[in-house]
Chains A and B, each alone.
Chain A
Amino acid sequence: MIGAERTLLSFLDAPVVVGDPDGCAVYVNPAFEARFTRAVEGVPGIPLAELFEGGAREAVLRAVVSACRQGESVRFRLREGSVGFSAVASPIEAQGEQVGVVILLKEEVEGVERILTLHRQMEQPLDDLAHALDGLHEQLRDARPRALADDALRALGRVRKAADEVHGVLTGAPGRSAEAAPARVVRRFDAGALLHRVAGRMARAFEAGQTRLEVVAKPALPPLACDEHRLEALLQRLLEARLAQQPPPAHVLLGARLIGTGSASALVISLCEMGRADFGARFADAPVAREEAAALAAELRGVAHPRLGRATLLRLRLAG
């Protein structure tokens, strides 16, 4: 069976990997060999994990496990060097049993990041439109105009749902349609408490990875006003990506401090990685993280030094 597929798949421009139920690669096509030179000479028989590195490795393994467990295709994204790929991992079934998994990778054009930017730009106008229509609906007394406002609100709900689904497909994040999730709540919150919460949730994973995680922040920080859940998810994503590196850093400090003065002051949340890891490597999901930061009206930047480590900073506006 593999032999016949090999003949057809060899003509594909898109990289393809076929894995067995034990998580080993049994075939990679020439397009894969051309783009992912690492360890291809070990195929067949080499673990799938060894064909990829860093965040890409984690993304592939997570998708393969999920596809095999659910028996359904899983879409995900990964980055090899400077090139991003959209990928789909599909289980291969024969006589009711899963006999392997096929991963198809498609090189991303810059359009994906452009679409993510457009999605972000759409969010605020959609919120404004919903607010305006809600206000209008409350003021209208006549049945006909109220019905029109109802129609407009329903249509807006469909647009928002579709936009969120586009975002979900591109990022792998679940959609945030108006029906499926509560409206985003922007309220003042304590950044220090949030850092401790995220670190607490990640503590076990960091222990398992033999990486020391510490929170370094004064107890009373000025409050932030942004989407708290979104910020929490972003910090968790950043920490997970750092832990998924091979090898992971020996020590990660999660900090927060105030910078600037007066109206120019802001809060920076920092992730400082030290020891053991390859600090020159790029994170596969960096564009998504930047996108999420932008959606929080925050700026994400960092520096890396081969011996000192890497510091990633997120600058956030203060409440009020």
Chain B
Amino acid sequence: MSESVQEQIARLLAEGLELFGEDKIEQAAIRWREVLSLDPSHREAQDYLESAGLGVPSDPTAATAAVQTLCAQALEQAAAGELDEALPVLRSATETVPEDLELQAAFELVRGHLYARYRERARHGAGRPRVRVAAERLLRFNLPPDAGFVLSMVDGHTRVDELVTVSGMDPFDVLHLLGRLEAAGIVEIDT
């Protein structure tokens, strides 16, 4: 169901470069450090970190400080209304250092706000999502497995609350995926 380690590394490297190009150095560093957590000898990730003047995190306290800074920045970003942008930053950071409970709390806070937003958009669970694109076109989207799973249950009749129940997934994840599918124009929720 989940991507392979090699695919994950390729994605993290690409995301890091993209963020680096946008001058989001700390966020890029998180991605590259995550690559090193998957493959400590990954030459490319080491080079990127060194080129960015960040160095390979041999000192755990420096890495922790970097995560804390990132956490504060992400919370400010979320407070400014950029919840969708703050979420992946915090998600990536929590995956890198899952034991950091304050980081997890920051992630939870952003998830909470997004959850409230998604619920409102889905008419507090009463909305009925339906697929907007033809089945043959769906193949072009190269959807991740969990999005495909949620999409497979969208029939235009089932309410969002019912989708959450039958999916067996975390309610936030279902709403988040529906939100992503809606943003991509694949799904619409009646209002």
Contact = CB atoms under 8 A, between A and B. Distances in A.
Interface of A: 216-220, 251, 253, 255, 257, 259-261, 264, 268, 270, 272, 274, 299, 301-303, 305, 307-313, 315
A206 B161 CA distance: 22
Contacts of B98: 259-261, 264
Contact of B112 (A253, A260, A302, A307): A253
A302 B99 CA distance: 13
A308 B75 contact: yes
A311 B79 contact: no
B94 A311 contact: no
Contacts of B101: 268, 299, 301, 313, 315
B15 interface: no
Chain B, interface size: which category? 20 to 34
A311 B109 contact: yes
B171 interface: yes
Interface of B: 71, 75, 78-79, 94, 98-99, 101-102, 104-106, 108-113, 115-116, 165, 168-173
Contacts of B165: 219
Given A268-B104, A313-B104, A303 B99 contact: no
A219 to B, nearest CB: 6
7 contacts: A218-B168, A218-B169, A218-B170, A268-B101, A270-B105, A272-B108, A305-B79
A274 B83 CA distance: 14
Main secondary structure of the interface of A (DSSP, over half): strand
A272 B112 contact: yes
Contact of A307 (B79, B104, B110, B170): B79
Given A220-B168, A259-B94, A305-B109, A253 B115 contact: yes
A290 B87 CA distance: 28
Contacts of B112: 251, 253, 255, 272, 274, 309, 311
Given A216-B172, A308-B78, A308-B79, 12 more contacts: A218-B170, A253-B116, A255-B172, A259-B104, A260-B99, A268-B101, A274-B116, A303-B102, A305-B75, A308-B109, A309-B112, A313-B104
